[in-house]
Structure 1
Amino acid sequence: MTTSTLQEKAVNSIVRHNMLATGDHVVVAVSGGPDSVALLHVLEGLHDRLSFTLSVAHLNHKLRGEPSEKDADFVIEYAASLGLPCVVESEDVGRFCEEQGISIETGAREMRYAFLERVASSDDAQKIATGHTADDQAETILMRLLRGSGAGGLAGIRPVRDGNVIRPLLDASRQEVLAYLDDQGLAYCIDETNAETHHLRNHVRRSLLPVLQQDYNPEIVQVLCRIGEVLRTESIYMDHETERAFASCVIVADTGQVKMDVRTGNSLPVALQRRLVRHMVHAAGGQIKELTFDHIERFREFVAQEKSGRLLNLPGGLIVERRRDQIIVCRGMPEPFDMAIYVPGVTDVPVAGCRLDVRIIAPEDAPDAPDDDCALFDADLIQLPIQVRSRRSGDRIAPNGMAGTKALKAVFKERNIPRVERDRVAVVVSATDILWVAGHRRSRIARVTLGTKRVLMITCLQGAPNHL
């Protein structure tokens, strides 16, 4: 292929996907392999024409000993030959993957992108360019198909990721890249581990794709890339529709809980329901990658069933509760909490998603009919200090206006507090006595009377500034 052909493919991708703006600074990820060497050379030839600047970044993964060091030296020399600044760092990827319990491919990718983001931030760069090609795209789509990915996963590698990671060579084949390097007389490094077929990508690259090309369709790479492009654009549309559905029937509470209106959720098309489940899990702090098709279908069936009060466990410690008209998703049950309350002052209660504002006021300044978020007590009858804590087994309250005591569990049922929220409710106590289930029920202890001289007023302000 001619030099201009690969450059023009890059230009077409840059323009079509709006990858660059005038004046952008681009950090180019260069491993030393053929794809990244070609990418840097192509971009260096285009930077005047498209008005952007370049720098180079290389991460030594320390996985191959001396060859890894030689790759780093090669990249430094190559960047210097083009007059470009170069940042090189080393990370022990193997140890990181062992500590995290993840594959080398996953860990290397995580550390590489974290490194590139650090370099981009340090260089005030607007974009990060990687050397992914059409062959990488085809391999990724095949791998995800083998793993059972949905339409979003089968869209493959996006030309632009997160607004700042760009792939200008995504429409060019590996053969076109190699022909360009040969035509330009450019040297590059060979990673011998690419021949090891125990990695799925290498096996797909060296075994599956060649068989598909030879025995089924010589244009299989282009076919897979077209499928990815179709699914990518359709996925973008579906993402937009999912955002609209999320906004119409889902609320994210201050405590991190995600709540969905059951009727609206059940009325959505199945395709949107499945995407909405993933959206809700992400909003609740779960890992979408841990969700399987079966998890999503169980979630949908759980929503469709009318019995309330039931719980469903999802990967990552997420719990789902089915209420009569609502679905609640949250990250497990919180650890028990117990803290002193400032008297007077404001106490943050992050787990409960609230703040307790305590004041000592004159009886004439107290509200005549306080709502559920405000409780009044005779300050001189309260034993200090007072605490705020989570519920405990056997808790009982002496409800205001009633004789005897009542189990907190019964209060929660009366107030229709979801099971997944009960461990987050702020319980205000003095010594062993429960004074107030904040926002729900106060006790008859230390009631304000005509003889009260000072009033202790506690107001529950929803929305803790630093909720967990």
Structure 2
Amino acid sequence: MLNLLRGSGLEGLKGFLPIREGRIIRPLIEVSAQEIISFLEQSGMAYCRDSSNESSQYLRNQIRAELIPFLKGKYNPRIEENLAQMAEILRREDDFIRQHAAAAAKKTMQQKKAGSVALNIHAVKKIPEAIRWRLLKMLLEDLTPSGDGISFLHVNAVNDLTQKNASGKKITLPAGIEARREYDQLILEKKRTRPKKNQYAYVMSVPGTVHVKERGLTIKATLVKKIKTDLSRMKNTACLDWSKIAPPLVVRNRRDGDWIQPLGMRGRQKIKKYFIDHKIPVAQRDDLLLLVDRLSVVYIEHRHISDRVKISPATKSVLKLAITPDRPVGKGSKPPG
């Protein structure tokens, strides 16, 4: 009854379970207080009362002493039995939804790590609403210290986030939880106070080698006259027209105001907009390596070469960049972006 007044869902309305988590057993949960007291008195066994159960300052006691007697006398003398029966029905229905929510988690989850889960947004949208709500509530509670603090309003807000095409939108929830849309993913994450990501910069000598310790990789720059291999098949390699580069060359991560001249275009594009257009997750943008000359960005790691420095039939000297990870990229991992 208390949870009904609070507007609880099935989990609250099903009441206390006789057995919970396979280890907590309440053998007298279905026996009334009056039945227990009568048995003790008939058996001559001493017992004590919890004085807090007599205080009217607690809502639970007001319900027990005022509301239940009123409902019994005015509407239904078997109200307590009927509420217990309703709780039993709701337990079965709650078990059904919980099992389907757990199955939905396996189908929709793309990544799970400490304090964070990523779900495929298209798969989430296809889940029946009741199951989707329980799935979101379950995942949010898993991210809270005690599983408490997540209300109807919070689950409703995250559910709305799944139904709208709003990449980049995020909401802040209790216990430091953040829910956000990143393109085809819904990410639920326990935010931690983190130091600001380090900016790095290394001057690139040509020919020469630079080790980027922040990324755990080495870049080797050499000058060659011709490229005989199909560039599209050269992994971790980029080739630029050396004569069109304005030294010095610097290897670094992004800075405010960075721009590049996209291939096939005369104009410029801000690196921030490039990342957005190519759906590069926000968390990966500060990790991507850039090669920058005196004028602009000329190369984005594994992705793009500036039109200004592209190789043409007139190219006489080619700057060849070979990127080598400190350790091979294994299955299940990939470079940023």
* Length-normalised TM-score, structure 2: 0.65
Distance 2:27 2:302 in 1: 56
Aligned counterpart for 2:151 among listed residues 282, 291, 306: 291
Q: In percent, how many aligned pairs have the same letter?
A: 22
Q: Give the 3 Å change call, closer, same or farther, for CA 362–441 of structure 1 in structure 2.
A: closer
Q: Deviations over 1:434-468 (max 9, x none)?
A: 79766655789xx9x8787x95523766879xxxx
**Counterparts of residues 378-417 of structure 1 (less than 5 Å):** 393-396=256-259, 406-417=269-280
What is the match of residue 75 of structure 2?
216
Distance 1:248 1:148 in 2: 30
Q: How far 1:328 moved relative to its partner?
A: 1.4
2:57 aligned with 1:201, yes or no? no
| 1:346–1:357 contact (8 Å) kept in structure 2 | yes
| 1:281–1:288 contact (8 Å) kept in structure 2 | no
Aligned counterpart for 1:457 among listed residues 305, 311, 324: 324
Distance 2:306 2:128 in 1: 47
Q: Give the 3 Å change call, closer, same or farther, for CA 438–205 of structure 1 in structure 2.
A: farther
Distance 2:102 2:5 in 1: 28
| 2:292–2:298 contact (8 Å) kept in structure 1 | no
Q: How far 1:399 moved relative to its partner?
A: 7.1
Distance 2:168 2:105 in 1: 23
Q: Give the 3 Å change call, closer, same or farther, for CA 319–360 of structure 1 in structure 2.
A: closer
Q: How far 1:202 moved relative to its partner?
A: 2.5
Q: Deviations over 1:370-400 (max 9, x none)?
A: 55xx46799xx987xx776xx6543446779
| 1:249–1:260 contact (8 Å) kept in structure 2 | yes
What is the match of residue 338 of structure 1?
198
* Letter aligned with residue 427 of structure 1: L
Is the radius of gyration larger for structure 1 or structure 2? Answer: 2
**Counterparts of residues 37-436 of structure 1 (less than 5 Å):** 142-254=1-113, 256-262=116-122, 264-282=123-141, 289-292=149-152, 294-305=153-164, 307-309=165-167, 311=169, 313=171, 315-316=173-174, 317-321=177-181, 323=183, 326-331=184-189, 335=194, 336-338=196-198, 356-359=215-218, 369=233, 371=235, 374=236, 393-396=256-259, 406-417=269-280, 421-425=281-285, 426-428=287-289
Q: Deviations over 1:166-197 (max 9, x none)?
A: 22222222122223333444434433233222
Q: How far 1:304 moved relative to its partner?
A: 3.8
| 2:299–2:305 contact (8 Å) kept in structure 1 | yes
Distance 2:330 2:306 in 1: 19
Q: How far 1:200 moved relative to its partner?
A: 2.1
What is the match of residue 243 of structure 2?
none
Structure with higher helix content: 1
| 2:290–2:297 contact (8 Å) kept in structure 1 | yes
Q: Deviations over 1:33-71 (max 9, x none)?
A: xxxxxxxxxxxxxxxxxxxxxxxxxxxxxxxxxxxxxxx
Q: Give the 3 Å change call, closer, same or farther, for CA 451–393 of structure 1 in structure 2.
A: closer
Q: How far 1:212 moved relative to its partner?
A: 2.8
Distance 1:243 1:455 in 2: 45
Find the residue that maps to 2:180 and give its secondary structure: strand
Find the residue that maps to 1:318 and give its secondary structure: strand
Q: How far 1:413 moved relative to its partner?
A: 2.3
List alignment gaps of at least 5 residues for structure 2.
Answer: 202-209, 223-229, 241-247, 311-316
* Length-normalised TM-score, structure 1: 0.49
List alignment gaps of at least 5 residues for structure 1.
Answer: 1-141, 348-355
May I ask how many residue pairs the two structures share in their alignment? 297
Q: Give the 3 Å change call, closer, same or farther, for CA 270–404 of structure 1 in structure 2.
A: closer
Find the residue that maps to 1:227 and give its secondary structure: helix
* Letter aligned with residue 408 of structure 1: I
Distance 2:329 2:89 in 1: 51
Distance 1:284 1:437 in 2: 35
Find the residue that maps to 2:135 and give its secondary structure: helix
* Letter aligned with residue 275 of structure 2: F
Distance 1:284 1:219 in 2: 41
Q: How far 1:283 moved relative to its partner?
A: 5.9
Distance 1:230 1:267 in 2: 27
Distance 1:375 1:185 in 2: 89
Distance 1:166 1:434 in 2: 66
| 2:111–2:119 contact (8 Å) kept in structure 1 | yes
Find the residue that maps to 2:71 and give its secondary structure: helix
* Letter aligned with residue 413 of structure 1: I
Distance 1:396 1:333 in 2: 30
What is the match of residue 314 of structure 2?
none
Q: Deviations over 1:390-436 (max 9, x none)?
A: x654344677999996422122123123xxx3144323468999797
Distance 1:463 1:195 in 2: 60
Q: How far 1:339 moved relative to its partner?
A: 7.0
| 2:239–2:318 contact (8 Å) kept in structure 1 | no
Find the residue that maps to 2:169 and give its secondary structure: strand
* Letter aligned with residue 422 of structure 1: V
